[in-house]
Structure 1
Amino acid sequence: MRQATITIDKQALKKNFNRVKSLAPHSKVVSMVKANAYGHDIKACLSALSETDAFGVACLDEAIQIRKLGYTQDITLIEGVFDEAELVSAIEYNCECLVHHQTQVEWIKKHHTSYKKKNLKVWVKLNSGMNRLGFKPNEIVSIIRELKSFGFTCILTMHFANADTEHDLNQQQQKLFLDIKEQCSPILASCCNSAALFKWQDLHFDYVRPGVMLYGASPFADHTVNELELTPVMDFSAEVIALNTIQAGEKVGYGSSFIAPHAMKIAVIGVGYGDGYPRAYQQQNYVYINGTLAPLIGRVSMDMMAIDVTDLPTSIGDKVELWGKHRLVDDVAIANGTIGYELLCRLTTRPHRI
């Protein structure tokens, strides 16, 4: 059997969840499990998140999957519903909806009796400067007051555009959020994603919304998971399927872009971009094998890649960690000019999952 394998460490996931609780002990936790739990497989992850207060998903299909697996925690649809019929289904499945435009508000007002009967809260999105979703500051207060007049319990929410860095917009967004919160008092509030959860303890409010930190990847470019006391949840590995010796001047891979500077021993690994491993690395990339890092050479192909093992005792069948606890997904992402989130989410269904 081909041995490209994704292994999920549920204990690591529990540990990362407990890290969230230690950082925000007085807030409820909405664990973000959208996009198949950031590529980790939602079914595999939910049991490790059994102590969470709620789950956050991007669409109703993801929420229904959670319900059909037997989980009863609150579920928040973070983009809301996309038509009125979906709102009826969301209520049926006990899902709390976010509203970010007037049409959604009209739908939820129309179905206020059944929505409130399920004790569902309405998440009201403020566009505080990111300019994706949400009501503008000059309209959101009246929207919240209108929803309150229908008897809804509202949660004021927003999303930081630059919580992972130092940026002028951070302070602008904070100030605006606090101002709207004061105008709408009393109201529940939520604005902290993974990065904000680490940075701004005074903004934890009623709900925090950890995402990538749950899975043991860093929300910061300049802080490793070890520094943040997080543990990688996913081990993505494969095996050596061939060993070759080449001479100086010989070439490796498509395009013959790698030319051996001297005699080399290379190992061929049975994994490639058909499994979700990135193809176009911009900086020297590495894998972890037999206790050390070994460099990739040549282009990653659909099913295979090559590494330099010239000075490393290597045998066919040796395990190669593509990313995990030794070769961090964040480091692979940096080499490929992207972020760990993307690599985790774009894995294909081909690797065997444990």
Structure 2
Amino acid sequence: MRQATVSINQDALQYNLNRVKQLAPKSKIVSMVKADAYGHGLENSLSALAQTDAFGVACLSEALEIRQLGFEQLVTLIEGVFSEDEMQIAIDQRFECMVHHQQQVEWLIQHKVAYQAKKLKVWIKLNSGMNRLGFKADEIIDVINNLKAEGFECVLAMHFANADSDDHPLNEQQKQLFLQVREACMPILCSCCNSAAILKWPELHFDYVRPGVMLYGASPFADRSVHELDLKPVMTFSAEVIAINHIQAGEKVGYGSLVTAEKEMDIAVVSIGYGDGYPRAYIAQNSVVVNQKNLNLFGRVSMDMLTIDATGHALKIGDSVELWGEQRLVDDVAKTSGTIGYELLCRLSNRPTRKIKA
């Protein structure tokens, strides 16, 4: 059987959740599990995150899957509902809704008796400069005051555009705008910290924090590894050596014949490719780990296979190859491909076998 495996370490996931609790001990935690728990598999991630206060998802279908799996924690729909019909379903299932435009507010008010009967909070999104979703500062105060007058318990929410950057001027602008709105709307619950902000700005933890990628052992920062942040990689993506070829100087390898051997070489073929979710293109030299050694890719990644320079390493068929995991961090693989660890984790295909390490 072709050996391409995604192994999920539940202990590492629990460790990272506890790390969030240490960083934000006075805040409730909304663990983000959208996009199939960042590619880690929803069911097994939920069980490892069972001690969270709530789960966060992008849409109703993701929230319903949580209920179908038997988990009863509160769920926050971070993009809210997409139609009035979804509002009643959200209420029935105890999903708290984000509102970021006036039509959502109207749907909420139309269902306020049922919503409030379930003691659900309404999250109101401030557009503080990211310009995706939310009310601008000159309108959100009226929205919040109107919802309070209707008897809703409100959470003021915001999302940082550049929390991973130390010196971006928009960070301070967003902070100050959020604090101004918060002051104008007191008393009100607040939430503005994603993974990067949790790690950087403890003074902004407020009532709820919303960890995402840090739970899964990837770094939200380009210049700080998960080890520096005291986090543990949760996913190990691995495959096996399926062939070893000895080639002569001048011979070429792979599609496009892009690489040429400058000397005699051993080329190991690995049972993984972009059909499994491994990145095809790389800007900088990429590598994998075999027998605790970093070995460079040699040639273009194809749909089902990639090739590595095994010269001088005496590899054999069946040797395990770590594409990313504890030794080769997903963030480092992402950098060589001009992307971020989030994308690699989320875009894995269903081809690799899933295994759980409790």
Instruction: Give 1:242 deviation, angstroms.
Output: 0.3
Instruction: Tell me the distance in 1 between the aligned counterparts of 2:231 and 2:274.
Output: 27
Aligned ranges for residues 152-171 of structure 1 at < 5 Å?
A: 152-165=152-165, 166-171=167-172
Tell me the residue number matched to 1:173: 174
Tell me the residue number matched to 1:338: 339
Identity %: 65
**Deviant stretches of 4+, over 6 Å:** none
Instruction: Give 1:313 deviation, angstroms.
Output: 1.9
* Counterpart code for 1:109: I
**Residue-by-residue CA offset, 1:293-346 (whole Å, 9 max, x unaligned):** 000010000000000010112110000000000000000000000000000000
Tell me the residue number matched to 1:13: 13
Instruction: Tell me the distance in 1 between the aligned counterparts of 2:292 and 2:312.
Output: 13
TM-score normalised to structure 1 length: 1.00
Tell me the residue number matched to 1:271: 272
Instruction: Tell me the distance in 2 between the aligned counterparts of 1:91 and 1:334.
Output: 42
Instruction: Tell me the distance in 2 between the aligned counterparts of 1:250 and 1:30.
Output: 54
Tell me the residue number matched to 1:291: 292
RMSD over aligned Cα, in angstroms? 0.4
Instruction: Give 1:44 deviation, angstroms.
Output: 1.2
5+ residue gaps, structure 1: none
Task: Give the secondary-structure state (helix, strand or coil) at the position aligned to 2:297.
Answer: strand
5+ residue gaps, structure 2: none
Tell me the residue number matched to 2:96: 96
Instruction: Tell me the distance in 2 between the aligned counterparts of 1:332 and 1:76.
Output: 32
Task: Give the secondary-structure state (helix, strand or coil) at the position aligned to 1:248.
Answer: coil
Instruction: Give 1:224 deviation, angstroms.
Output: 0.4
Matching of residue 304 in structure 1 with residue 305 in structure 2: yes
Instruction: Tell me the distance in 1 between the aligned counterparts of 2:230 and 2:314.
Output: 33
Instruction: Tell me the distance in 1 between the aligned counterparts of 2:126 and 2:13.
Output: 30
Task: Give the secondary-structure state (helix, strand or coil) at the position aligned to 1:189.
Answer: strand
Tell me the residue number matched to 2:25: 25
Instruction: Give 1:3 deviation, angstroms.
Output: 0.6
Tell me the residue number matched to 1:132: 132
The number of residues matched between the two structures is: 354
Instruction: Tell me the distance in 2 between the aligned counterparts of 1:119 and 1:87.
Output: 15
Matching of residue 110 in structure 1 with residue 107 in structure 2: no
Instruction: Tell me the distance in 1 between the aligned counterparts of 2:42 and 2:313.
Output: 37
Instruction: Tell me the distance in 2 between the aligned counterparts of 1:220 and 1:3.
Output: 32
Tell me the residue number matched to 2:242: 241
Instruction: Tell me the distance in 2 between the aligned counterparts of 1:312 and 1:227.
Output: 30
Aligned ranges for residues 145-224 of structure 1 at < 5 Å?
A: 145-165=145-165, 166-224=167-225
Instruction: Tell me the distance in 1 between the aligned counterparts of 2:51 and 2:278.
Output: 32
Instruction: Give 1:134 deviation, angstroms.
Output: 0.2
Task: Give the secondary-structure state (helix, strand or coil) at the position aligned to 1:240.
Answer: strand
Tell me the residue number matched to 2:262: 261
Matching of residue 80 in structure 1 with residue 80 in structure 2: yes
* Counterpart code for 1:158: M
Instruction: Tell me the distance in 1 between the aligned counterparts of 2:85 and 2:172.
Output: 39
Instruction: Tell me the distance in 1 between the aligned counterparts of 2:44 and 2:281.
Output: 30
Instruction: Give 1:260 deviation, angstroms.
Output: 0.5
Task: Give the secondary-structure state (helix, strand or coil) at the position aligned to 1:11.
Answer: helix
Tell me the residue number matched to 2:39: 39
Instruction: Tell me the distance in 1 between the aligned counterparts of 2:177 and 2:246.
Output: 63
